[in-house]
Amino acid sequence: MQSGRSAGSAPVVAIVGATGAVGVELIRCLEERRFPLSELRLYASARSAGRTLPFRGEPLPVRELGEDSFRGVDVALFSAGGGTSRRFAPLAVQQGAVVVDNSSAFRMDPGVPLVVPEINPEAVRGHRGIIANPNCSTIIAITPLWPVHRANPVRRMIVATYQAASGAGAAAMEELRESTRAYLEGRPYENRVLPHPYAFNLFCHNTKIDPETGYNEEETKVVRETHKIFGDDSIRIAATCVRVPVLRAHSIAINFECERPITPGQVREIMQTAPGVKLVDDPERNYFPMPKDASGHDPILVGRIRRDISDPSGRSIALFVAGDQLLKGAALNAVQIAELL
């Protein structure tokens, strides 16, 4: 690992964006997974500086992020947006830290590894100081598909996401709570965080749409990041990303076509032992992955596994997944990367 600490000593870890929805989960993941650190430093904007957050039974102060914040830091976990990452991540590297960045700032940089530990842990070795955490929808969609891809290469994917408020941050989660309360009480509510009314509604993911392709930025991320992580640009991928009124777990409908015929039974068998995945597939009870079951849990739930009856070749499978956007979609994946370091 690229840092100034002596071999065998526990690292100093910093969290940038510690008071945000993902930052709070980063702290919890470090504690629950007993990450071996000697010191944890919490950073946020001037607005949040002075607060304290609990870690291992003690209140830790939140400091204002500055240009010299990373002296003595070995691992810096960033979750404060692309602009902050572009400004401060290179400074952190200059001061000796390895950065695990949760924003989109460096994901498609050819010199920056884009890592899902269950898929391409070896990519960490190629870092030059910065490692990118993939988009939450990408992680949740492709982690279950990787063991299938290894056994029978996936040649095409069609995905439709059902994305929770947590993907837009703590403020969006609060807007969902407040707008739902207002709707039920018959009060007017003016949305400020998201572009459309959120209570009892769903809408196209709130990212910019490319006028040439018609795809929004979230959909393009799923395509490009999957190619980079799988190391295969030939996979044909189409995505439709939608924001739904759920607090914190994304769900995704996936239809994939393999190189050779494949059966639902084979996919279920693969999922039984797939890392980071839990099979939830009970047709008799009509019980399949749901965001309420995925919220607060590490594994990605996989189920509704069935043959695509529109493909007479027998090479296509449809399934449904749900995963906690704040955990495996963000904080947990970042901490797993830090563990690899």
- Dump pLDDT digits (tens) for 177-231: 999 999 999 999 999 999 999 999 999 998 999 999 999 999 999 999 999 999 9
- Other C-beta atoms closer than 10 Å to the C-beta of 55 total 17
Contact 179, 198 (CB under 8 A): yes
At the topology level, CATH places domain 12-105 in Rossmann fold (3.40.50)
Rounded to a whole number of angstroms, the CA Rg of the chain reads 20
Tens-digit pLDDT profile for residues 207-221: 999 999 999 999 999
Each domain of the chain, given as residue ranges in start order, spans: 12-105, 140-325
Active site residue 204: no
The whole-angstrom separation of Cα 95 and Cα 266 is: 49
Q: Could you give the angle at which helices 21-32 and 332-340 cross, rounded to 10 degrees?
A: 50
Please give, one letter per residue, the 3-state secondary structure of 6-46: CCCCCCEEEEECCCCHHHHHHHHHHHHCCCCCCEEEEEECC
Q: Which residue in 29, 241, 250, 258 is the catalytic one?
A: 250
| Mean pLDDT, residues 107-112 taken together | 96
Q: How far is CA 154 from CA 228, 269, 313, in A?
A: 14, 17, 14
At the topology level, CATH places domain 140-325 in Dihydrodipicolinate Reductase; domain 2 (3.30.360)
| Mean pLDDT, residues 89-96 taken together | 97
* Residue bearing tokens 């003595």: 72
Task: From 305, 296, 218, select the one nearest 256 (Cα to Cα).
Answer: 305
Q: Which residue in 29, 136, 241, 258 is the catalytic one?
A: 136
Tens-digit pLDDT profile for residues 128-177: 999 999 999 999 999 999 999 999 999 999 999 999 999 999 999 999 99
The whole-angstrom separation of Cα 70 and Cα 266 is: 48
Active site residue 297: no
Residue 81 CB partners (closer than 8 Å, separation 6+): 17, 103
